[in-house]
Amino acid sequence: MRRDAATAGPVLALVESARIQFHLARRYPMMIVLNVVQPLALLAIVLQRTDNGPRALGELLISVLLTCYWGNIIWTAGGVLRRDRMSGTLARTLLNAQDGRLIIVGRCLGAMVTSLVTLAITSAAVLMVAQRPVELPGPAWLAMGFAGVAISGTALGLLLATALLHSRHGVEITAALMYPVFVFGGLLVPPEAVPAALRWLSWLISLSWARDFMVHADWLAGLGLILTTAAYVAIGARLFQRTLDLARKEGTLDLV
Amino acid sequence: MRHAIEVEGLTRRFGRGAQEVVALDDVSFTVGAGEILALLGANGAGKTTLAKILSTLLLPTSGTARVNGLDIVRDERKVRACTAVVFGGDRGLYGQLSALDNLRYFSVLNGVGRAGLQARLQGVLDEVGIAHAADRPVETFSKGMKQRLHIAIGIISQPQVLLLDEPTVGLDPIEAQRLREAIAGLRSRGVTVLLTSHYLLDVERLADRVMVLGNGRISHDMSLPEFVRQAGYAAMVVITGSGSAPRTSALAAAGLDEAARSDDGHRWEVRIRIRQWSPDIFAIISHTFADSVVDDVKVEQVRLEDAFAAVTGRAR
């Protein structure tokens, strides 16, 4: 009576985790706020100014998308484990025949791709209605940029999901994380408008690098995106393992 | 007999210093392959802690445990690949998703491969009797249906060891019986089952062996027939009648216990505990009630509750 574990490899587990998160995210009311209401509001403000040319509008569009995407990272990917804890599915998600990190990465990836696709559809619909020409980087840059953003969002999701699992106040912390990045992340508020002593904060935020990469076609910014993402992965994976080890040792996390 | 579970000197403590609680204290036992072992004990006896350790959710403080020869600490992933845990209850499922989506997701996490997955999903849902509701959101399910979905998730990966914690809790008698039949079916496939339940009917219908935990230690470990004998009697004869109540002093003189008596002036009931059957018993009862109007005679089998009360009373 051996199960065919060999065929249920990491790829299938990753894909299935992403698929289930897509189905869960579709039913998550916050998705409407983050991917429809918020981009609509921000784009309406941006489009009110008629003196923005196609290039400036393209830059603002990317900034709006990434700002809304940040909300998705912290609320959907960052909340994956917190919500599993609430529904009592944490033990099954973390402790099974697969590597728990892989499952969380799959879940975060599912959340991030769902959010990017929904944001892209909302933005395209708004621009079509507004009938304003937009100049975006070439398709290759855009594709690389969005792939980088999806991967980076997934990595940050792993880190935040694990970090927020430690606290009973995950919702409050998530809400508090929203605005510092809006202000200091270099996405909507230009870095020049931020006090010089605080500008370095945007270096820690991968989306800030991603914006520069897509808007200015800057390879150096691409390197920044890769390095910050790698740091998120390293810290997230380590924190995840420590959390799991501690949970099994101390009997915490309400694993059942 | 090959051992599916081997536990040696297992101890688990929670907290430190004055706050320390010993949930399991030097517990050792084995479970043979294909055996159904019922784990009994009062609340806080250490049953769930033991199930959590064997399912790798908790680490032991000391001692060792092996499942199919695999160490639960060193080979945790391999242990999970051959073990399924069903803790049951309302939680542990994604309520917004369908039963099929839940089952598919947890199957893949538990190592079920893509080959034949769809057919297997359908087959298991059929087996536990919820195939008709496969596409319905789980939040619309009754408690019994959720419990059956838990069982489906547990058995779809064809585990060699199944840990069941209160599998029939909250189910109506028909649902509970259906579930017992599904679990009994696993025995015929050679699955080893560790069953934790407060419902002694589950134990009576399913278990080969009974182990009783008290204060984190094993107080009794015996076969089901031996456990039943711990009740101290073989059966209960219940005689009801009308008119004046019989005088039963002859029963005690013949060594039979009158366990209880009720008499409202019109109808009476006498309960006689039979320690061991013998042909003389019928003669004694017949003689004792010869002058009474007897309406009904029933023979009740030993209640497992009495056996449990007897052993836990001794364990205290």
- Banded model confidence at residue B314, pLDDT cuts 50, 70, 90: low
Please give the C-alpha separations between residue A224 and each of A78, A139, A203, A221, B259, in angstroms, as whole numbers.
22, 21, 8, 5, 83
Quote ipTM for the complex: 0.86
The CA-CA-CA angle for residues B60, B214, B200, to 5°, reads: 110
pLDDT in tens, A39-54: 999 999 888 887 878 8
- What is the per-residue pLDDT across B36-63, written as a single tens digit (0 to 9) for each? 999 998 888 888 899 889 989 899 999 9
**Residue of chain B whose Cα is closest to the Cα of A26:** B96
Contact A104, A240 (CB under 8 A): yes
CA distance B230 to B215: 20
Does position A205 have pLDDT exceeding 70, yes or no? yes
- pLDDT for the residue numbered B133: 94
The predicted-structure confidence for B90-103, as pLDDT tens digits, reads as follows 788 999 999 999 99
pTM of the model: 0.82
Which residue from A9, A23, A96 is facing B80, i.e. has the nearest CB? A96
Helices A139-165 + A54-72 axis angle, to 10:
20
Task: Determine the residue of chain A that is closest to B156 in CA distance.
Answer: A3
Q: Which of A8, A9, A89 sits opposite B94 (nearest CB)?
A: A89
Nearest to B93 among A2, A27, A89 (CB): A89
Residue B94 contacts A where some CB pair is shorter than 8 Å = yes
Cα–Cα distance for residue pair B100/B121, rounded to 1 Å:
7
Q: How far apart are CA B282 and CA B259, in angstroms?
A: 17
Each domain of chain A, given as residue ranges in start order, spans 2-250
Q: Which of residues 112-171 of B touch A (CB under 8 A)?
A: 112-115, 153, 157-160
Q: Report how far residue A221's alpha carbon sits from residue A51's, in angstroms, rounded to the nearest whole number.
A: 28
Q: Please, which pLDDT band fits residue A6 given cuts at 50, 70 and 90?
A: very low
Q: What is the average pLDDT across A110-136?
A: 91
